[in-house]
Structure 1
Amino acid sequence: MSRTTNSAYDANQDPSSPFYIHPNDNTSTQLVSVKFDGTRYANWKRSMLLSLTVKNKLGFVNGTILVPDENDVDFLAWECCNSLVATWLLYNLDDNIARNVLFKKTAKEIWMNLGSRFDSVSLTQVYSLEQKLAEITQGKLSVSEFYTAITTLWDNLDDADPFLQNTCACGLSLRVQQKTQEHRLMQFLMKLNDQYSAVRANILMMSPPPTVDQAYRLIAQEENHKEMTLAKPESMAFYADQRGSGNNKNQYSGNYSQKFGNSNGQDRKPKSGANYYCTNCKVPGHSIDRCFKIHGYPAGFKPKERRIAAAVTTSAGTEGSNSLSNDQYNKLINLLSKHDIASNTDTDSSQALLAGPFSKQTANSSW
């Protein structure tokens, strides 16, 4: 008897043994976040299997760890671990369901009883999930939120239909899994908003077709790109407002209007670097001390023909009764092209020639 007790003690203390019991393992350990109350058994079952696998106790519910003979040295160790797993199952069940399996002798019997009662294919549940998949659309959801919603429905459908969970490595099973993935890829792309039509077309032309996860990454990248594009004009407008409200205003908006007066059709803004302004002809770039209209034009000064033509055109548009005829205009151009204006007298005579047909406004304009 002493040998059997020591062997059981050693098995319970060996971390590599399925009979090992950790010091923190107790009968009131809640392995899952929500106790099973008779609904969503597939989710509760999946969570329990994961927890039991982590604790190396999965064999006690799926039958891979057989019950040793009562005279075996490991019987006491097995019995201790079996009772521990049974209490875990009971503690993670609703009180009403726990009372129904309370007197089962082994953890495997408890597990099998729950499976026979709740782990069955329900056409009503499958119908409900398929209907939700048919009606779901992205709408106002982000790509991430929509992907989470549709994958949750797929997972629930896998739990409700054991055929979709077949992991056999045979060729037929692999083909079925491939067709299922292609069908779900089509579902995911069909439910997206129309703004992703371009990237959706690119995904459909890919060969071989990507997985649903790969398609999601491409759509998510497109969503991020669109968000950046929409945010850029707003930032540029904010930058423009900051510049407009700062010191980068027109350098002529203040001092020029005070110094030179408001623009009335004759005043001109000074060129960049101009330090002079003529109060006689209202032209920046020279002072009144150097004004040709007062002190005379230099020898060899030749007025530009285009200014004459512009003045004539302006006069013709504003003073229709005093405009030059074509004959007079041609004679004036020939005269200016053949003779240089050599002195102020010649300039005055030319101005006198134009004084008749020109309006007062044209005569006051600069050459």
Structure 2
Amino acid sequence: MGTSPESADTLASASAVTTNAPAPAVTFASGVIDSTHPYYLHPSDYPGMNLVSSAFDGKGYGGWRRAVIITLSAKNKLGFIDGTLIIPKTDSAVQQTWGRCNDMVLSWLLNSLSKEIAESVLYSQSAKDLWSDLEDRFGQANGAKLFQLQKELSSVVQGNSSVSTYFTKIKSLWDELDALNTFSACVCECECGAKVKSLKAHQDERLLHFLMGLNDIFIGVRSNILLSSPLPSIRQAYSLVIQDEKQREIHATPAYSGESASFIATNQQGNFRRFNKNRMHKTSFESKKYVGICSYCKKPGHSIQKCYRIHGFPADFKFTREKRFQGVAQANKASFSNEENEQGSASGVQNLTKEDVAELLQLLQQVRVGHSSADTPDVAAN
């Protein structure tokens, strides 16, 4: 902003007079505001920027308020919401500079609110007015708010969550209670030790609350912590529980040792050798087939002792499989015809002797073998 040296002196004096708290003088170097002054705006600052990652929707005001204060303090703009940098009363260039910074902070706050809450404070004249409105509506500690926080604390347990998730949830509730100033620590300079004892008792109470919400699998480390004298801090207890949880995860993960891996590899190699040995034995056995010619059927590949035409074809032979069901049907048909003949001429069958029946069956077997030989083309056995 280009101004004369006289305007720079006026800006510095007006800023120093009109603020409630002493502010650094506005100095210029080549017409630019000093970067250490609250009125300075960095080139990366723009109205659409968000101060926090999540907008405030009416819940968790303590945490949201804390995040906003940290961000504005880092940008050297905290005075625009706490009242230390009020609008200058003199009609000068300082008012324009202040108004620009105030509008920038005001837009940042609106971007950090939900749509409904932002509409309710949209017409605030300054960032201080908007902040005071939010403080009056959401920042006041009351019995209902304390009851809600204490009820949530009493019901928080680990359950299916990890220790880290459980601790984060319970600690956020503790921090929200601390933001409501429900516990006031002694700030006097006494030497009686009551302040230290009171603070230790408060920490021990929260430690016990944390341990009670853990799952029963941590009963061992919980007992060790409770047997300590004095009791450790919450951070130390959390570290011990986390270490125990990591140890359980390591023991629960299946891992093969070097001996186990070598044992498995040895068994696999042994099985592979046995498989190859059996395969070679089978191959050598199959290669030792009969190379002569049968003296009965004159077919190569078998001897007369294994000729199927003499001793009968097996049930799973390549052409007997197809004929098997036909043979069964013909046998059933023959049996049915025999039954009719027996019923028609029962007296004739009764006169047959056992020798006649055996001779008749042998004759039928020879006839069946002859039919199968006539119906089937010449096929090399085996």
Counterpart position of 1:179: 201
Structure-2 change in CA distance of 1:41 and 1:144 (3 Å)? closer
Counterpart position of 2:187: 169
For the residues of structure 1 that align with 2:185 and 2:45, how far apart are their CA atoms? 32
For the residues of structure 2 that align with 1:54 and 1:221, how far apart are their CA atoms? 36
Per-residue Cα deviation, 1:81-117 (whole angstroms, up to 9, x for no partner): 2232222223333344334434433321221121111
Q: From 48, 53, 63, give the equivalent of 2:68.
A: 48
Structure-2 change in CA distance of 1:175 and 1:85 (3 Å)? farther
Structure-2 change in CA distance of 1:173 and 1:143 (3 Å)? same
Structure-2 change in CA distance of 1:37 and 1:19 (3 Å)? same
Identity percentage of aligned residues: 34
1:1-367 correspondence runs (5 A): 2-3=4-5, 5-6=7-8, 10=27, 13-70=33-90, 74-159=94-179, 161-164=180-183, 166=184, 169-170=187-188, 175-231=197-253, 239=261, 242-243=264-265, 245-247=267-269
Specify the SS of the correspondent of 2:253: helix
For the residues of structure 2 that align with 1:142 and 1:56, how far apart are their CA atoms? 39
**Alpha carbons 1:42, 1:119 under 8 Å: kept:** yes
Query: TM-score if structure 2 supplies the norm length?
Result: 0.56
Aligned AA for 2:187? Answer: A
Give the number of equivalent residue pairs.
251
**Alpha carbons 1:57, 1:85 under 8 Å: kept:** yes
For the residues of structure 2 that align with 1:158 and 1:242, how far apart are their CA atoms? 59
For the residues of structure 2 that align with 1:175 and 1:61, how far apart are their CA atoms? 37
After TM superposition, the structure 1 stretch with the greater mean CA deviation from structure 2, 39-48 or 1-10, is 1-10
CA offset at residue 63 of structure 1?
A: 2.0
For the residues of structure 2 that align with 1:228 and 1:92, how far apart are their CA atoms? 43
Specify the SS of the correspondent of 2:147: helix
Counterpart position of 1:275: none
Cα RMSD between the aligned structures? 3.5
Specify the SS of the correspondent of 1:197: helix
Specify the SS of the correspondent of 2:81: helix
Specify the SS of the correspondent of 2:42: coil
CA offset at residue 168 of structure 1?
A: 6.0
Counterpart position of 1:314: none
For the residues of structure 2 that align with 1:228 and 1:78, how far apart are their CA atoms? 60
CA offset at residue 2 of structure 1?
A: 4.3
CA offset at residue 210 of structure 1?
A: 1.6
For the residues of structure 2 that align with 1:75 and 1:168, how far apart are their CA atoms? 43
Aligned AA for 1:169? Answer: V
Larger Rg: 2
Per-residue Cα deviation, 1:240-277 (whole angstroms, up to 9, x for no partner): 7624633479x9xx99xxxxxxxxxxxxxxxxxxxxxx
For the residues of structure 2 that align with 1:157 and 1:146, how far apart are their CA atoms? 17
Aligned AA for 1:210? Answer: P
For the residues of structure 2 that align with 1:95 and 1:230, how far apart are their CA atoms? 48
After TM superposition, the structure 1 stretch with the greater mean CA deviation from structure 2, 73-82 or 189-198, is 73-82
Aligned AA for 2:105? Answer: V
For the residues of structure 1 that align with 2:256 and 2:177, how far apart are their CA atoms? 44
CA offset at residue 54 of structure 1?
A: 1.4
Specify the SS of the correspondent of 1:24: coil
Structure-2 change in CA distance of 1:162 and 1:173 (3 Å)? farther
Structure 1 unmatched runs, 5+: 256-367
Structure-2 change in CA distance of 1:87 and 1:144 (3 Å)? closer
